Structure 1
Amino acid sequence: MTLRASPLDIKLGMEVYASTTPGVGGRIRSRFEDFIVEEILLDGSEATLRLKEEMHDFSKRGRYLICILIKKGIDTLSAIERVARRVNVSPEMIGAAGIKDARAITAQHVSVGAVTPEKMNVDLGEIRLVPMRFSEEKITPGILLGNRFDITVRNIPHECSETQEMILETSRELMRLGGVPNFFGHQRFGTVRPLSHTIGKLLLKEKFEEAAMIFLSELSIYESPRARSARIYLRESVDFNSALKRFPRSLFYERLMLMYLSKYPRDFLGAFRRLIFADSSSRLINHTFSIDFSARE
């Protein structure tokens, strides 16, 4: 086992790696098609990209219409916002079990109350909503079993036989360890700005203004110059209305918060109500896994 974790991994509590073997190299997510996610619910229902006519069943009635949301190159909340505008319903009426990757093609379940299948059959190109059945239960995180991933790795710099041997050696090492630590990955904390654990901790301490300003103005070297410039402006001016005009439209959640703070500049808790953050316990869990695996050396 090696303790040569990267500074970012250590910051997020992932202080050890489970294997000493080198990676095979290559690139993931070169194309949206290289990362496919399909959701599975506790009752065995699968959201698949390969929908068939016989999968639809509207014979039983219920309070909620269950649909499959298929999207490409966009995050779940943005997709829901666009669908809601198209069918003229509030985004809050659309329930989901989780947020799926943006740089991917994903399929997941959503529920909508008091609508017909005809109204919710939506095709926006990169976003499709396909009605499947009615249910008395809405879609929430509590009924999510997991996700099935289909990942393509391109440009591996080894011959096929050498790559296979490297994979087998890693597998053998992991079998000797008895498995791998089930860390919360970078996505849990934010891939460009891994801050959600810090913000979650501040929210638990009821330091709402500090949490909001970190979310809005903390800089990252991985962002565009325009995004960094907008964050610096906000940090120096604390002018939410003017900052809103400077923040790129790609910073969807920051703009959502700024819109609220432009109207209610002291209601920092209210500004967080529509945003989702992983709580700081995720980092604590990662740290605990690291200690456990270090003890196995």
Structure 2
Amino acid sequence: MIPDLDSQIGISVYSTNFPGIGGKIRMSPDDFQVREIISKKKEDSISDQDGYAVYKLKKKNIDTNHALSGIFNKKGIRLKSLGLKDASAITEQFVCSGNKGRAIENFSTDKYSLEKIGYVKKPLSKKDMIGNHFKIKISECSNDLSSFTEYDKILNFYGYQRFGSKRAVTHLIGKALLKRDFKKAVELILCFTSTYDSEENTEIREKLSDPENYEKYFDQVPPQMDIERIVLKEMIDHNDPIRAIRAIPVSLRRFYVQAYQSFIFNQSLSSAFLDGENLFEVESGDVCFDFNGIIGKYVKGMDQNLALPFVGYSYYKKTRFDYQISKILQSEEISPKDFFIKEMQEVSSEGGFRQAAIHCFDYSAHETNVEFSLSRGSFATIVLREIMKPQDPIVAGF
């Protein structure tokens, strides 16, 4: 039985036959540990010669963006991360200075620590990160964890975080932007409620469903609803939905569109699997990634991983998945050209490809603890979803 939340984000299948052990994750931050893996070549290039300073950022109960802005406020240095790590975990990642010159001393707060590990000639970039290693404890589960062996048969779905987790709304906002329905996008940001949201948040969202209440309740919107406050302020001052959406940082506006693309991708993967397509092996004519992550056509005898289109305005139709994807786009009443947004070109997306199956390596399980590594862009929660088969992902700590 697929949980309702999974269906909302486009996931309608399990790809393993394992019955699931149930249980909960993240009962404490120590139960979920993540360590970033960079390429050996890049790691070997870190030296004590002058250049761009590289640090190891270890954190707990704070997300990457907030940790980096805390470092900037305290030390006046702007550091870049290779990936974002969420708050409800103990994480270890590489961060790098964008300028040559002075490095700062190691320091720590109650939520994070920063340790200088050396210098590189060129700043670290996202492509230097090859994956993450996870160490996870599953509480209150049955004792069958060691009998899960299908970690090479897991589809590469986008996980719950991509859609807002407790409030799966980001893809709906993205769709409203593609439809040029900016008023609807504002309504979704301000008023979309979820059974998992707090009573206080739900109450304020219900009040904001009437634009007459915008000014009246503005001061009651809690500070953690920072995007809502930005949008609300613009709507009170100008009553212009496009202007209100534009006030949101561009990275987040792009993320809304990407979340909708992720929803289409999840649906495409589910649909192809249900139609009996082999998603774990490449066939003649397939588009694939090689072991360096370079995209290309299937070449016999080469070690390649199957890729599925990630729909955008340059959608490539000539794959064996066009039947499923075209049907989904039709039912969504969306076409590839909609991903070019004339009124807000900065959030347009040409699309691309994404690996169909998760590459899970260094897998081991003992009692209620599981460890594994995933290549960049794959979600640990999707591996855990197949192991645990949770009835309610949010209650289970996803």
TM-score by length of 2: 0.59
8 Å CA contact 2:35–2:93 kept in 1: the answer is: yes
| Closer/same/farther in 2, CA of residues 8 and 156 from structure 1, 3 Å limit | closer
Superposed displacement of residue 38, structure 1: 1.0
Mapping of residues 151-166 of structure 1, within 5 Å: 151-158=136-143, 163=144
| Closer/same/farther in 2, CA of residues 39 and 130 from structure 1, 3 Å limit | same
8 Å CA contact 2:29–2:60 kept in 1: the answer is: yes
1:181 to 152, 155, 158: 155
Report the count of equivalent residues: 269
2:73 to 80, 85, 90: 85
Give the superposed CA RMSD. Answer: 3.1
Q: Give the structure 1 partner of residue 97 of structure 2.
A: 112
| Runs (5+) with no aligned partner, structure 2 | 278-398
Q: Give the structure 1 partner of residue 272 of structure 2.
A: 292
Q: Give the structure 1 partner of residue 88 of structure 2.
A: 103
Mapping of residues 204-243 of structure 1, within 5 Å: 204-237=178-211, 243=217
| Closer/same/farther in 2, CA of residues 258 and 125 from structure 1, 3 Å limit | farther
Deviations 1:205-263 (A, max 9, x none): 44444323312321112111111222223332466676553222333544465567777
Deviations 1:97-155 (A, max 9, x none): 22212111111222233362226x33121122222333354444444322111101122
Counterpart CA distance in 2 for 1:79 and 1:252 is 17
Q: Which amino acid aligns with 2:67?
A: A
8 Å CA contact 2:36–2:93 kept in 1: the answer is: yes
1:75 to 45, 59, 63: 63
Counterpart CA distance in 2 for 1:240 and 1:109 is 42
1:271 aligns to 2:248 (yes or no): yes
8 Å CA contact 1:240–1:265 kept in 2: the answer is: no
* Secondary structure class of the residue paired with 1:283: helix
1:58 aligns to 2:44 (yes or no): no
8 Å CA contact 1:83–1:122 kept in 2: the answer is: no
Counterpart CA distance in 2 for 1:257 and 1:131 is 39
Counterpart CA distance in 2 for 1:143 and 1:179 is 26
Q: Give the structure 2 partner of residue 282 of structure 1.
A: 262
Counterpart CA distance in 2 for 1:8 and 1:250 is 23
* Secondary structure class of the residue paired with 2:22: coil
8 Å CA contact 1:202–1:208 kept in 2: the answer is: yes
| Closer/same/farther in 2, CA of residues 296 and 25 from structure 1, 3 Å limit | same
Superposed displacement of residue 75, structure 1: 1.6
Q: Which amino acid aligns with 2:104?
A: E
Counterpart CA distance in 1 for 2:30 and 2:170 is 28
TM-score by length of 1: 0.76
Counterpart CA distance in 1 for 2:177 and 2:210 is 23
| Closer/same/farther in 2, CA of residues 184 and 208 from structure 1, 3 Å limit | same
Q: Give the structure 1 partner of residue 24 of structure 2.
A: 27
8 Å CA contact 2:162–2:259 kept in 1: the answer is: no
Q: Which amino acid aligns with 2:70?
A: R
Deviates more, 1:147-156 or 1:213-222: 213-222
Counterpart CA distance in 2 for 1:41 and 1:255 is 38
Q: Which amino acid aligns with 1:283?
A: F
Counterpart CA distance in 2 for 1:61 and 1:196 is 39
8 Å CA contact 2:31–2:136 kept in 1: the answer is: yes
The sequence identity of aligned pairs, in percent, is: 27
Superposed displacement of residue 71, structure 1: 1.2
8 Å CA contact 1:208–1:269 kept in 2: the answer is: no
Deviations 1:20-54 (A, max 9, x none): 432112221111000001112345667xxxxxxxx
8 Å CA contact 1:197–1:283 kept in 2: the answer is: yes
* Secondary structure class of the residue paired with 2:154: coil
| Closer/same/farther in 2, CA of residues 205 and 237 from structure 1, 3 Å limit | closer
2:174 to 170, 195, 200: 200
Deviates more, 1:97-106 or 1:249-258: 249-258
Deviates more, 1:106-115 or 1:147-156: 106-115
